[in-house]
């Protein structure tokens, strides 16, 4: 490994905290049978071997038998701070069951399982990566595990290495795939357990059992430091409006958390915009009015936080994108259609969508219109993150203000700066919270394996309390699933958690945003702290604190 910074050297010595129940032998306490959050009959039929299992909670026990088991681990999807701690926690947990146990890492995501590319972890390797950010210890990937040929290729290498359990670290799609794999191996009696871990900085993998997805805390603190720095500059120069787009395509949890941490003048919440059926012009008018009102008070500056997926939540555009995803998918194969040229693809789209959706498409700036028709992600969906929403909104606000000025309304001076914070937060060194939480998730996964569980997700609860009081256990992945339409077909997926407009975090934000809009109430959080008072170093997100107050 490359030479380390002084911070890395000091952080390597940090020993993450564990829930009291995991600090010695454990026993599994099972609750009642569970059911999926929706479409119970369909989900049960698709997962007959892993449906209806009980929620598991671990309690301290007097003794536990040594367990001989080799384990494999996969990092799937986008990076999130704390992934290395999940691996180190799993490694320590597996070795504590029996020092002869081995942990293997499959390289570059699920594709490493299919292609038989792996490494065996050692003490030396693990120690190099403790409490570090990123996924570079084995890399990640976005290969979807959904075909029988992939499952069969995977079982070959698992048998060769004597692996009896596989841990998949990922978001909702990756853990859906983990559930499919667990069901397949159970149905075939292959004797391989599959356990998931909840990862995504977007924060949309949570429910009554999962308090937060790992990496959310660190990413939001990283973004909030940057936003605070910009706000300090903004309040110093007093001449720019900063439009800041933040990660979060499917939900606005990051934008909301960063707003709670920094108190910007404006924060848009996609779920509220959809609930109120706001048009793009409604959103622009809302921003422009605050800009004009602040100008009237002599403040020609401010900050605007924008969720990455905002455009997709505007009802008319959401309807358009849904049809775009349909027409650009080949119904025979379920894969993206192929075209000879980009112009041919644009022409095909315009010729095959409903007139009302075509009108919406053609009302957008030409570059945005073309992006919607062309750019697709690996799953065949519109790449909303490539749409420069921050620039689109600021340009439309400028046009709106110019029109108001022409009518005689005072709007002051408007000059915009643009930012998109995404990759800056995905691989940051984990906060103390994420270091502890992720280590506990990995260690806990080893106990789920030792207790013979499969099709479960590792969960740690009560995380607003001191770490010793955290509750460890597992939840059946099928419990979180429902049926949704994806690429023209109904598929079982883990239901995404959106910002709840009746939830305490949003209600608190809504009670303060008018004050933050009209005054300059910025908070400057500063960088993540690792040493010092617990109230500074070990604090959870504002979201969690409000949800569990």
**Average predicted confidence (pLDDT) for the chain:** 94
- Give the pLDDT of residue 378: 64
Query: Is residue 127 flagged as an active site residue?
Result: no
In a domain, 12, yes or no: no
What global pTM score does this model have?
Answer: 0.93
How does pLDDT run across 296-341, given as a tens digit for each residue?
999 999 999 999 999 989 999 889 988 998 888 888 877 788 899 9
**Residue 182, in any domain of the structure:** yes
Q: Which of 461, 486, 511 is the last residue of a domain?
A: 486
Are residues 283 and 364 both part of a single domain? Answer: yes
The total number of structural domains in the chain stands at 2
User: 213, 241 in Cβ contact below 8 A?
Assistant: no
Residue 249's pLDDT is what? 85
Whichever domain contains 255, its CATH number is: 3.40.50.460
Q: Is the pLDDT of residue 165 over 80?
A: yes
Q: Tell me: pLDDT of 449 over 70.
A: yes
Q: What is the pLDDT of residue 379?
A: 63
3-state secondary structure labels for all residues of 194-232: EEEEEECCCCCCCCCCCCCCECHHHHHHHHHHHHHHHHH
Average pLDDT (272-282) is 95
Q: What is the pLDDT of residue 380?
A: 66
Going from the C-alpha of 381 to that of each of 174, 178, 193, 394, 476, the distances in angstroms are 16, 21, 31, 26, 28
Per-residue pLDDT, 63: 87
pLDDT at position 534 over 60? yes
Expressed as residue numbers, the domain containing 41 is 18-215+430-486
**Buried residues in 204-233 as b, exposed as e (16+ CB within 10 A):** bbbbebbbbbbbbbbbbbbbbbbbbebbee
User: How far apart are alpha carbons 56 and 378 in whole angstroms?
Assistant: 35
The answer to whether residue 419 sits within a structural domain is yes
Residue 208 sits in the same domain as residue 227 = no
For residues 149 and 141, give the distance between their C-alpha atoms in angstroms, rounded to a whole number. Answer: 18
Flag whether 221 is in a domain: yes
Same domain for 97 and 26:
yes
Asked if residue 390 and residue 359 are part of one domain, the reply reads yes
Q: What is the CATH number of the domain that holds 163?
A: 3.40.50.450
In this structure, is residue 1 part of a structural domain? no
- Indicate whether 10 belongs to any domain: no
Check whether 230 has a pLDDT greater than 80: yes
Residues 145 and 249 in one domain: no
Question: Do 309 and 181 belong together in one domain?
Answer: no
Q: Are 262 and 395 in a shared domain?
A: yes
Write b or e for each residue in 505-536: b if 16 or more Cβ atoms lie within 10 A of its Cβ, otherwise e: bbebbeeebeebbeebebebbeebebeeeeee
Contact, 232 vs 522, CB < 8 A?
yes
Does residue 364 sit in the same domain as residue 511? yes
> What is the mean predicted confidence (pLDDT) over 498-526?
98
Convert the pLDDT of each residue in 368-391 to its tens digit.
Answer: 888 888 877 766 677 776 789 999
Task: Specify the pLDDT at position 372.
Answer: 87
In this structure, are 185 and 313 located in the same domain? no
Where do the H-state alpha helices sit in 328-431? 342-352, 355-363, 366-374, 389-406, 423-426
Contact 228, 242 (CB under 8 A): no
pLDDT at site 375: 76
Same domain, 27 and 49: yes
475 class by beta-carbon count within 10 Å (0-12 exposed, 13-18 middle, 19+ buried)? buried
Nearest residue to 436 via CA among 127, 93, 86: 86
Annotated active-site residue in 172, 202, 204, 217: 202
Q: Is 24 inside any structural domain?
A: yes
- Does residue 359 carry a pLDDT above 60? yes
283 shares a domain with 412:
yes
Q: Where a domain ends, among 462, 486, 510? A: 486
pLDDT of residue 549: 86
Shared domain check, 209 and 245: no
Residue 478 inside a domain? The answer is yes
pLDDT of residue 65: 81
């Amino acid at each position: 490994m490359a030479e380390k910074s002084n911070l890395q050297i000091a952080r390597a010595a940090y020993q993450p905290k564990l829930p009291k129940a995991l600090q010695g032998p454990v026993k599994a306490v099972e609750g009642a049978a569970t059911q999926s959050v929706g479409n119970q009959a369909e989900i049960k039929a698709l997962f007959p071997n892993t449906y209806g299992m009980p929620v598991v909670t671990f309690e301290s026990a007097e003794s536990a038998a040594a367990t001989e088991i080799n384990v494999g681990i996969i990092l799937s999807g986008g990076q999130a701070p704390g992934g290395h701690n999940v691996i180190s926690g799993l490694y320590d947990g597996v070795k504590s069951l029996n020092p002869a146990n081995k942990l293997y890492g499959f390289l570059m995501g699920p594709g490493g399982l299919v292609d038989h590319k792996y490494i065996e972890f050692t003490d030396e390797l693990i120690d190099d990566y403790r409490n570090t950010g990123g996924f570079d210890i084995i890399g990640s990937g976005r290969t979807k595990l959904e075909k029988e040929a992939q499952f069969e290729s995977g079982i070959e290498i698992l048998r060769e290495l004597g692996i009896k359990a596989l841990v998949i670290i990922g978001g909702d799609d990756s853990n859906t795939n983990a559930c499919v794999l667990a069901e397949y191996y159970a149905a075939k009696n292959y004797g391989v357990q599959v356990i998931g871990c909840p990862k995504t900085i977007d924060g949309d993998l949570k429910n009554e059992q999962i308090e937060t997805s790992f990496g959310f805390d660190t990413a939001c603190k990283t973004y909030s430091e940057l936003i605070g720095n910009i706000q300090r500059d903004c309040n110093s120069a007093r001449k720019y409006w900063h439009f800041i787009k933040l990660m979060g395509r499917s939900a606005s949890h990051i934008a909301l958390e960063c707003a709670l941490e920094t108190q910007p003048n404006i924060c848009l919440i996609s779920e509220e915009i959809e609930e109120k059926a706001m048009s793009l012009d409604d959103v622009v008018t809302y921003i422009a009015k605050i800009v004009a009102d602040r100008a009237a008070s002599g403040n020609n500056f401010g900050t605007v936080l924008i969720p990455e997926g905002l455009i997709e939540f505007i009802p008319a555009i959401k309807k358009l994108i849904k049809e775009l995803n349909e027409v650009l998918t080949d119904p025979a194969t379920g894969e993206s259609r192929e075209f000879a040229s980009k112009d041919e693809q644009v022409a095909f789209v315009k010729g095959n969508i409903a007139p009302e959706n075509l009108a919406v498409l053609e009302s957008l700036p030409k570059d945005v219109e073309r992006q919607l028709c062309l750019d697709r992600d690996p799953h065949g969906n519109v790449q909303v993150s490539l749409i420069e929403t921050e620039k689109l909104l600021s340009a439309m606000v400028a046009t709106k203000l110019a029109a108001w000025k022409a009518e005689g309304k005072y709007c002051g001076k408007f000059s915009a700066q643009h930012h998109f914070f995404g990759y800056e937060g995905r691989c940051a060194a984990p906060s103390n919270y994420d270091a502890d939480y992720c280590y506990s998730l990995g260690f806990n996964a080893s106990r789920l394996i030792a207790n013979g569980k499969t099709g479960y997700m590792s969960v740690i609860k009560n995380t607003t309390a001191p770490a010793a009081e955290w509750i460890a256990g597992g939840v059946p992945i099928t419990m979180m699933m429902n049926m949704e339409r994806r690429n023209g077909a109904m598929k079982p997926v883990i239901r995404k958690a959106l910002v709840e407009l009746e939830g305490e975090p949003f209600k608190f934000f809504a009670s303060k945003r008018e004050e933050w809009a009209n005054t300059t109430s910025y908070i400057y959080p500063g960088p993540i702290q690792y040493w010092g008072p617990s109230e500074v170093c070990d604090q959870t997100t504002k979201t969690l604190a409000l949800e569990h107050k």
